[in-house]
């Protein structure tokens, strides 16, 4: 089996150990104003989330989840959530992660793509590697709330039709022999 690149191996370890790390995150490596400032405070988080969302929109595995979504709302919720997690002066009041993601059928592949897009955005903003790792460790406990590969079919999001698609309505017969009443 080929060796994973260091970054991928670390991400995988964080995701797999996340549920175990949750209680520890609040102890030794919990949020602090310093970590929040390392991410640039509120302006830094807004810029980070903008680039994170742009990355997800370019990502063929994630784009379908966001095409018809209220992206400005999602960005605002992510900024508030990241701010609170990083020890900033924000309070996240959005939906709980399990409820927000249950209907989308997000599997491990999509979750890992999301983590990679977040890492790419953090790299773009020159967030130090150590701060990235601390943040990813803080996010890892949410993995089990986000990954739901088999949602009930009735709650899957509706199929999106491309704007340039031609939709032909089903024709309903209006006359002719097939609509004659049966003989008496």
| pLDDT at residue 49, as a whole number | 97
Confidence check: pLDDT of 96 > 80? yes
Residue 65 falls within a domain, yes or no? yes
Q: How many domains does the chain have?
A: 1
pLDDT beyond 60 at 183: yes
Q: Is 125 exposed, middle or buried (0-12, 13-18, 19+ CB in 10 A)?
A: middle
Is the separation of the CB atoms in 141 and 22 below 8 Å?
Answer: yes
> Does residue 11 sit within a domain?
no
Which pLDDT value is given to residue 168? Answer: 53
Position 159 in a domain = no
Residue 14 within any structural domain of the chain? no
pLDDT at 7 over 70: no
Q: What is the SS3 assignment for the chain?
A: CCCCCHHHHHHHHHHHHHHHHHHHHCCCCCCCHHHHHHCCHHHHHHHHHHHHHHHHHHCCCCHHHHCCCCHHHHHHHHHHHHHHHCCCCCCCCCCCHHHHHHHHCCCHHHHHHHHHHHHHHHHHCCCCHHHHHHHHHHHHHHHHHHCCCCCCHHHCCCCCCCCCCCCCCCCCCCCCHHHCCCCC
Query: What pLDDT sits at residue 102?
Result: 82
Residue 59 vs residues 63, 146, 179: alpha-carbon distances, Å: 6, 18, 51
Tell me whether residue 122 is in a domain.
yes
Is 101 marked as binding a ligand?
A: yes
Higher pLDDT, 159 or 128: 128
55 lies in some domain: yes
Instruction: List the CATH number of the domain containing 79.
Output: 1.10.490.10
Q: What is the pLDDT, as a whole number, of residue 181?
A: 56
So what's the pLDDT on residue 34? 92
- Could you tell me if residue 118 is inside a domain? yes
Q: Band of the pLDDT at 118, cuts 50, 70, 90? A: very high
What does pTM read for this prediction? 0.66
Per-residue pLDDT at 19: 40
Percent of the chain whose predicted confidence (pLDDT) is above 90: 46
Residue 118 belongs to what domain range? 41-149
Is 97 within the bounds of a domain? Answer: yes
Q: Residue 32 pLDDT > 60, yes or no?
A: yes
Give me the mean pLDDT over the 101-122 stretch. Answer: 91
């Amino acid at each position: 089996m080929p060796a994973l690149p260091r970054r991928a191996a670390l991400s995988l370890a964080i995701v797999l150990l996340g549920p175990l790390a949750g209680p520890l995150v609040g102890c030794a490596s919990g949020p602090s104003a310093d970590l929040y400032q390392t991410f640039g405070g509120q302006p830094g988080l807004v810029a980070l989330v903008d680039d994170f969302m742009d990355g997800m929109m370019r990502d063929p595995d994630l784009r379908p989840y966001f095409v018809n979504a209220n992206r400005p709302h999602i960005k605002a919720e992510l900024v508030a959530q990241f701010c609170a997690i990083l020890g900033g002066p924000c309070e996240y009041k959005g939906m709980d992660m399990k409820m927000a993601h249950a209907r989308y059928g997000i599997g491990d592949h999509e979750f890992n793509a999301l983590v990679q897009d977040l890492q790419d955005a953090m790299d773009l903003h020159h967030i130090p590697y150590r701060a990235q790792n601390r943040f990813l460790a803080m996010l890892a406990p949410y993995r089990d709330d986000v990954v739901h590969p088999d949602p009930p079919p009735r709650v899957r999001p509706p199929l999106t039709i491309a704007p340039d698609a031609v939709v032909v309505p089903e024709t309903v017969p209006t006359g002719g022999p097939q609509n004659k009443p049966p003989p008496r």
